[in-house]
Structure formats: structure tokens, C-alpha cells
Amino acid sequence: MHDGETMSDGATMHDKAIEGDARAEAGAASTDDGAHRTGPDGHVRRDRTAVESEPEQAALPAVAEPGLSDAEIERLVAQGRTNAVETPTSRSIWQILRSHVCTLFNAIILVAMIMVLTTGSWRDAVFGLVIIINTAIGVVTELRAKITLDRLSILVSSKPMVRRGGRDLAIGHDDIVLGDLLWVRAGDQVPADGKVLHTWGLELDESMLTGESATVVKREGDTVLSGATTVSGMALVRVEAVGKHGYAAKLTAEAKVYKASVSDLKSGINTILKTMTVIVVPLCFALIWSQIHTVGGWQVALSTGAWRQAVIAAVAGVVGMIPEGLVLLTSLNFAIAAMRLARHKTLVQELESVETLARVDCLNLDKTGTITDGRIAMNGIEFLDGSDRKGGDGAVLSALYDLANEENPNGTGRAVLAYLGDRDVMPGDVAGRIPFSSARKWSAVARDTGETWYLGAPEVLMSAMGPASTTGSDEAGTEASHASYDGKDVADQVARHADQGERVLMVARCPADRSQGEAQDERTPDAPGGQQSAAGQDATMGEASMSMPSAARPVALVLCAEHIRDDASHTLAWFREQGVRCRVISGDNPVTVGAIARKVGLTGEREPRTMDARELPEDIDRLAEVLDRVDVLGRVLPKQKQSIVKALHQGDHVVAMTGDGVNDTLAIKEADLGIAMGNAAPAAKAVAQIILVDSQFSHLPDVVARGRQVMANMERVASLFLVKTIYSMLISIGVVLTAMPFPYLPRHITYIGALTIGMPAFLLALGPSSRRYIPGFLRRVVAFAIPGGAAIGLATLLNSWMLPPIMHWNLDHAADLTLLRSTNAVLIFVLAMLVLARVSRPLRSWRGLLVVVFAVAGVVGVCIPPVARFFAVIVPSGSMLVTTMVVLVLALAVYAVCRVAALPWSGRVSHDRRHRRD
């Protein structure tokens, strides 16, 4: 029989005589316009010869409802009752610009730059370029992420089909209005909430909304929700909620408000900036007052214009106290990490999220789309002991192939076909077919020999079978008994496989003598017979009263499961080694989820502890206690996912949440780090900080490792910058208190800073490191920086106060002042190199070579006359060399004293050799 034909409701596949009459009855009952046929079973069968030539709406069945009129549509549009809703996939350009421009750091530098510009010396305001560079790096990086994300969010699905004024029309998603009659077809994503008016076997995948991977059968009167995907069948739906009133839109609305990433690194830097702001403002005025007095007072300064140099000197001291290079390097390091991750198909929406990666100690995983890829895979077939397998195992496999080989097989059918195709199983001759239906939960095919094969849910097939027995034989005597089986034993086998997370289907067989016998019992008295279908052609029969013969017996179990990603076990093992606690949170059955968690080794050798989320307490504190003892949660609702993240926060955990559905958006938003898959719902991608563009779970270790590298290395270089801040502040205070000329020139600090902080810090920030980040960034950095900064500041001040009287220098003379400043420059350079060496430990690596290279570069540089003249450095010689050496010895002594004095309270510093792991 052809696919476009149907059989009568009372027919059975087992009687060839009934088939001809049934086909005639179906033909009379069907509506045939040459392009499609609607049979008495309600299923629409398209004529294959007309698919290419007829328009798309020819595939839609005829219905009585005309739909909305043009006047009604105009009225609803005027009232704003359309499906248009603002669904931003990322921050707007204005939000991005505002977040990167309006920062405390930019404000401080901008004010300082304006002060210098008022003096007319624009060359000394070049430091303000750091604002432009720093802002540009952040804006450009996030704009690139925005562009990529917006491209990912473009839907390529077909336009919704609605019925209006008696016609079927394709319209835009936003053009749907309240009350529209909407066609929901296989492969479509439901664009608006509605109620089913007519259904033709509609099955929906609501995993994006509920987290449950099982499909849901919809009947007349049932509600369909926007965001669900049509797996099979078709339905006519009346739209009952549009736009922001839809289910998916309401769920997403709570997650739409932008939430900035909490950056421990940037919080620490901002704390430093705030503290420095309190100190810098009064110190700036004090420096101006001090420097004006060094030139003879306000009257002289104003009459001669010397106030300009006083302002510039004061601002130079202030800018030296601000770790502007650290802010720039932080943004640059985040940007480099984001670009490196982009090469691995990982999109970073916010630069700060790179740092959050390093702090994660709890990772909540969504099963579907993360551990599994959403596909169904057939794991094998288990032949039942004592089952009736006439023709051997090959006959069973061939029948299974034909059972799965429907016109539009579902995911399970495709998995079976792939498994058998790899094993060269060939199809057989199909005389008749009952396609699979979720309502019936089985399918069947008939052979020309009269036997019938069934495939379906074990509990459904076994409930239709008669009691186990040993009776009957065929004419050839090859079947001494018919399908003696132990129902309890088969049920136990099914349960055992289900407990292992497998989806179990049963293959059953009904012999020809049995199937035809029962078929005769089911005939109506006036049913004519004698007609047969053409060999090898499918007979598609009506479903309304299709029944399975009680004589059928099980022959095999088909074992399927969600396809686990090949890299899932390795990825989870990496997280365990790194001390990250992983939990699986799913809307599926906890037994199934627990079995999958066991297969991928979620908890290593330990058995994962599972729990039904319906038993979770609502109190956050009690929930936090329960979560410490649970590894796998099933039947989790969207609100519960959010509560789980909140409960983990109660325990001071840094939580990362992966997800791909609308049901995950609240939890992703609540988590410290939201991670969405590239094929996730646009709402999920809009609130996530990290997007795995190709949806590969295996990228996560590299993502976390990159974050740890950034934090560990930034902790190193932050110490370098903070040392400069501390000694600049101490020297400025000393200058104010003694009204002495500034002990060095800004260009000296430029030279020293480039060789001991700027360039080394950039290289150190790019070095490898896999150490897990430990909270307390600011405390450790300050504890490290204070001894070094205090030593350099005190040594410079002591040298500036004590050396001139000893050397009989008059600082009012430019030559003597130049000698003092050169000596101080050498002193600061040597001590800064010691700080760099300590930060770079262990030195038996490329870091030791880095220190040597920059130390040599500093010495060689000042030996080059043009360089020495430009930076106003005098190379010591003769008695000056001896003096410089004595000064250095005393400075080293001051450095050692400061280091020893700081030991009791300095605490643990992450880049100290004793605590390093890389």
C-alpha cells in the first residue's frame, strides 16, 4: 500500500482480505486534493508526487475554523496585542560604552590630565592616553562578543503559519496577534502560548522550558507554551498569550536586567583607587604648596610662571601613586585571555568573567546539552532467553530495522537505524505498517508470511500479551511451542536496564497462525476479503482501535540511552582533580540522571548521591545543608535551580552554572558565572557571561585554566605596581613635610618603571599557571607590596636627607641636585629589581632569565650617551661610584629590615615560592 492510503479502524494488519476493503473505506473517507490526504485516523499523508510542485500550505489539513478577519487583526495590532517583545541577546552599545568609560580610574586620571593641560604643557599630559587605551580595549572586546552573540541568536527556522480569513499564511514571529489560529508543525519552535483546537499526533519537546528531555503528547484542549519544539505531528492552536505575557517571556523577564560580574581583582584595584583618592586629593594640594615654596613662594611663582612647573611636579607625584599601568594591564590581560578562548570557540561576553573562572569551586551542570548532546544512541540489543525467534537473530534485527524505518522516524528510530546500518542489517519486505504513536506507544510491521512484529514500551506490550503458555505448532512442526516466557523475569530485566539510565524498548513477534486467528475473531460479519497489498509496500492503517494480539510474545530488548559526549568523563575528571565540586541538575527522572552521572564518573569511584528535587526544603539554609550531601538532582524546576545557586552562595561558594534552555536563565543569572551553549535559547545566551559557541563541554577545562592563569599572574604583577604606589606616596609625604625638591625626575620613574614594572609585568602576566585562585587577592598583594615599597621609599628619603650634607651638595644648585637625583634613580632601580626578582620566583626558569635581561638592559641603557642624556642620568665614576656603592649597601640593609619586620603579619602570598604549584 502507498503511504497516502489508510485502513479502516476495525481492521488488523494480519488479515490480507481486510486490507483491500479498508483501503477503499479510507479512500472514501479521506479528503484528497492531489497534494495531501486526510484519513479517518486524522493523520495527514502528503502525496509524494505533489510535494515539490504544491505550495507549503497544501500540507495543511482542511479545518472549519476561518481564523481572524483583517478587521480583527487591525484592531488587535492597534491595541498592541502582538507577539513583539524586546529580547536583547546582549548589552546595548550605550551600556557597553557607559560601563567602560564611567569608572573611578578614568575620573582620577582625567582630573589630573585637566590640571596639567591648564598649565599649557600638553606634552606632560600624555599619561592621559591610558584612559583611551584602557577604555578602547574593554569596549572593543565586548563589542566583538556582542556581534558574535547577536549572530548566534539569529533564528533560521521557518516563519510561523497562521490561519486568517480562511487562508493559511506565513507571517513573521512578531506579527502573531492574540486569538490567531496558529499551525504548529514538526520542526517548528512554538512562537506563542496557546490551546490546542485540533491535533494530528502532536509531540512537543519542552526541555528548553522544563528541563525534562522526554517528549510530551498534546491533545485537544491542552496548552502549548512558547519555546517548546515540535518533535512530530501537527496541531492547530488558538493563541492565548503573546509578547511579554508568554510563558518563556515571563520566565526570561526576571533574568533580563543586566548583572555585572563580581571581580575580586577589579574590586581590589578599585579599593586601592578609592583609598588613593582619599590620600591623593589633599596630598596633591600639599605637593603644589611644597613645590611652590621651593621656588620662592606664591608671589615669585605667580610672577615668574613657576607655578606651572609646581603643578606639573605635583601631578607627576600624584600619577605615580596611581597604578594606572595595573588597570591597563588588567584590561589587556582579560582581552588576551578572551581572544585565546575565542580560538577555542569560547565567547567571553564580559572581560571580568575571565577572572571569575579562576574562583569557581562549584559547577552545576545541566544534563541535556552538557553531559549528553541531546541525541539518542542505541547501545545494543538483548535477546530474551526462551523467546520465539523463528528465523534466528537475523530475522529479529531485520524486523527491528523495518519497525524503525518509518517515513519520518523520531530520534529513537534514527538511533536504531544508525546502529543496525553500521552492522549491515538489511530491510525486509513490509506488507503493512502501523506507525509509532506516543498515545499507543508501539508500532508494528507485517510480513507477507503473515507474522507481525511489534516495537514499543515494554510495559505497554506486556500488558497486551496473554499469560505465558506453551501451546500450538505450525504446519511444518518447526515451532514446538509458542513463546513460553517468564513475565516477571522479563520485567526484572527491563527494570535493571532502566536503573542504569537506559531507555528500554521491546521487540515482540506474533506468528502467522496466531495473528490471523485473532484477526478472524476481530472481523466484522460483512467484511469482504481477498485483496492483498503489493509486495514490499507499506500499508498505513488507522489508529483509533488498533489492538495488539494477546498471542504476541517478547523476543528482544532494545537498549537506548542519551548519547553521552565522548569527552564528558575526561572533563569531569579534570574538575575533580582541580577541586571543583560538580553537581548535575536536571528536570529528568533522578534515577536516569544518576545512572548517567555514574557512567561519566561524576564522583570518581564513589557512588553519586541522587535526590528528587521535589523533596528539597524551601528554606535556603536547610537547602544549603542538603546540597552538601547531594551530587545529582532530578525533577528540578526552574525556580529551584535558582534557589540551589542561592543556597550554595550561603556557603561562600563561587558557583558556575551551565545551561541551554529558558528554564536555566534564572539560575545562570543568579550564578557567579553563567555558561551557555552555542545552541542554547537566546534568553540563556543573553544572560550568560561565557558562551561555548560549538556547544562542546570539553572546552570548560581550558576556560577555567585560562581564568586561573589570569588571576595567578595578575596577583604577581599587581604587587609590582603597588610597590611603586607605596614608595611614591611615602616619598611625596616626605617631600611635603621637609619642603625639599622632589628627589627624582618623572623621566627617571618612566625609565625605571618600564624596566622593572611595565614590560616585565606584561610578560609575567602571559606566563603559564594552573594554580587555583584563593580569595584574598587584595590582602596578599598589600602584604607583599608594603615591605618593598616602604624599603624603597625610606631608602630614597634617607639618602636625600643624609647624602647632601655628607657630600657637601647644595640642592639650590642644579648640578648638585642632578647628582642627588641620579643617585636616587640608581638606588630605586636596584631595589625595584630585587622586588621583581622576588615576584618572579622560582628563578630557575624563564622568569629568572627575564630578571637578568631587564637588569642588564637597565645598566646598558644608561651607558649609552643619548639615552643617559634623555633620561638625565649620570653614570657614577670615581668617588661618585664609591658613594653610590655605599648608598646601595645601606639601601639593601633598609630593604632587609623592612622584609624581616613584615614577616609576622605579611601572611601568605600566592606567588611566594613556598606556595607555588607551577
Comparing 446 with 270, the larger pLDDT belongs to 446
Average pLDDT over residues 547-564: 86
Q: For residue 127, what pLDDT is reported? A: 66
Instruction: Give the whole-number percent of the chain exceeding pLDDT 90.
Output: 17
Lowest mean pLDDT segment, chosen from 602-606, 632-636, 758-762, 800-804:
758-762
Asked whether residue 351 is assigned to any structural domain, the reply reads: yes
Tens-digit pLDDT profile for residues 651-673? 889 899 988 777 777 788 888 88
Comparing 869 with 188, the larger pLDDT belongs to 869
Looking at every residue in the chain, the average pLDDT score rounds to 76
Of 695, 729, 748, which residue is a domain's last? 695
CATH number at residue 356: 3.40.50.1000
Q: What's the domain range around 594?
A: 346-371+565-695
Q: For residue 42, what pLDDT is reported? A: 35
Task: Give which of 676, 824, 827, 704 is closest to 769, Cα–Cα.
Answer: 704
Q: What is the pTM of this model?
A: 0.61
Asked whether residue 69 is assigned to any structural domain, the reply reads: no
State whether 622 and 727 are in the same domain. no
State whether 287 and 302 are in the same domain. yes
Asked whether residue 633 is assigned to any structural domain, the reply reads: yes
Q: How far is CA 539 from CA 276, 454, 869, in A?
A: 84, 15, 98
CA–CA dist 298, 518 (Å, integer): 117
Reduced to 3 states (helix: H, G, I; strand: E, B; else coil), residue 213 is coil
Asked whether residue 603 is assigned to any structural domain, the reply reads: yes
Tell me the pLDDT band of 832, cut-offs 50, 70 and 90: very high
Asked whether residue 869 is assigned to any structural domain, the reply reads: yes
Asked whether residue 356 is assigned to any structural domain, the reply reads: yes
Top mean pLDDT of 549-563, 567-581, 812-826, 846-860 is at 846-860
Query: Does the pLDDT value for residue 254 go beyond 80?
Result: no
State whether 684 and 780 are in the same domain. no
State whether 731 and 759 are in the same domain. yes
Beta bridge partners, 549, equal none
Of 660, 695, 730, which residue is a domain's last? 695
State whether 771 and 888 are in the same domain. yes
State whether 682 and 726 are in the same domain. no
Q: Beta 161-164 vs 432-437: how paired, if at all?
A: unpaired
Comparing 698 with 28, the larger pLDDT belongs to 698
Q: For residue 177, what pLDDT is reported? A: 92
Provide the grid cell at 406: 518509518
Tens-digit pLDDT profile for residues 94-122? 877 887 787 766 777 787 778 778 877 66
Q: For residue 556, what pLDDT is reported? A: 92
Strand segments, DSSP code E, in 545-662 are 553-564, 581-585, 610-612, 632-634, 655-659
Asked whether residue 209 is assigned to any structural domain, the reply reads: no
Contact 16, 1 (CB under 8 A): no
Terminal Cα-to-Cα distance of the chain (whole angstroms):
71
CA–CA dist 573, 258 (Å, integer): 33
Provide the grid cell at 564: 553521552
Q: For residue 370, what pLDDT is reported? A: 80
Tell me the pLDDT band of 858, cut-offs 50, 70 and 90: very high
Tell me the pLDDT band of 590, cut-offs 50, 70 and 90: confident
CATH number at residue 885: 1.20.1110.10
Lowest mean pLDDT segment, chosen from 70-79, 453-462, 463-472:
463-472
Q: Where are the alpha helices (DSSP H) in 512-553?
A: 512-522
Query: Does the pLDDT value for residue 539 go beyond 50?
Result: no
Q: For residue 563, what pLDDT is reported? A: 84
State whether 330 and 361 are in the same domain. no
Task: Give which of 33, 85, 41, 79 is closest to 60, Cα–Cα.
Answer: 33
State whether 724 and 856 are in the same domain. yes
Q: List the catalytic residues.
A: 366
Of 663, 695, 727, which residue is a domain's last? 695
The continuous run of DSSP H or E covering 224 comes out as strand 223-224
Tens-digit pLDDT profile for residues 374-429? 788 898 999 986 554 554 688 899 999 999 998 778 788 889 999 999 988 988 88
Angle at 40 between CA 36 and CA 41, to 5 degrees: 95
State whether 681 and 716 are in the same domain. no
Q: For residue 851, what pLDDT is reported? A: 93
> Exposed/middle/buried for 240, CB within 10 Å: 0-12, 13-18, 19+?
middle
Comparing 268 with 519, the larger pLDDT belongs to 268
Comparing 13 with 828, the larger pLDDT belongs to 828
The number of distinct structural domains making up the chain is 2
Comparing 741 with 457, the larger pLDDT belongs to 457
Q: For residue 630, what pLDDT is reported? A: 94
Beta bridge partners, 170, equal 161
State whether 751 and 898 are in the same domain. yes
Tens-digit pLDDT profile for residues 158-210? 578 899 998 998 888 788 999 999 998 876 778 889 999 999 888 887 766 66
State whether 669 and 795 are in the same domain. no
Query: Does the pLDDT value for residue 737 go beyond 70?
Result: yes
Average pLDDT over residues 20-41: 34
Is the backbone of residue 328 left (phi > 0), alpha (psi -120 to 50) or beta?
alpha
What's phi and psi for 241, nearest 5 deg?
A: -150, 130
Asked whether residue 154 is assigned to any structural domain, the reply reads: no
Q: For residue 907, what pLDDT is reported? A: 47
Comparing 582 with 468, the larger pLDDT belongs to 582
Query: Does the pLDDT value for residue 218 go beyond 50?
Result: yes
Q: How far is CA 900 from CA 517, 788, 791, 897, 903, in A?
A: 100, 11, 11, 5, 5
Q: For residue 38, what pLDDT is reported? A: 34
Q: Beta 655-659 vs 362-366: how paired, if at all?
A: parallel
Tell me the pLDDT band of 544, cut-offs 50, 70 and 90: very low
Instruction: Give the whole-number percent of the chain exceeding pLDDT 70.
Output: 75
Query: Does the pLDDT value for residue 454 go beyond 80?
Result: yes
CA–CA dist 763, 720 (Å, integer): 13
Q: For residue 31, what pLDDT is reported? A: 34
Tell me the pLDDT band of 88, cut-offs 50, 70 and 90: low
Average pLDDT over residues 739-762: 82
Provide the grid cell at 241: 498569550
Q: Where are the alpha helices (DSSP H) in 344-392?
A: 352-359
State whether 726 and 868 are in the same domain. yes
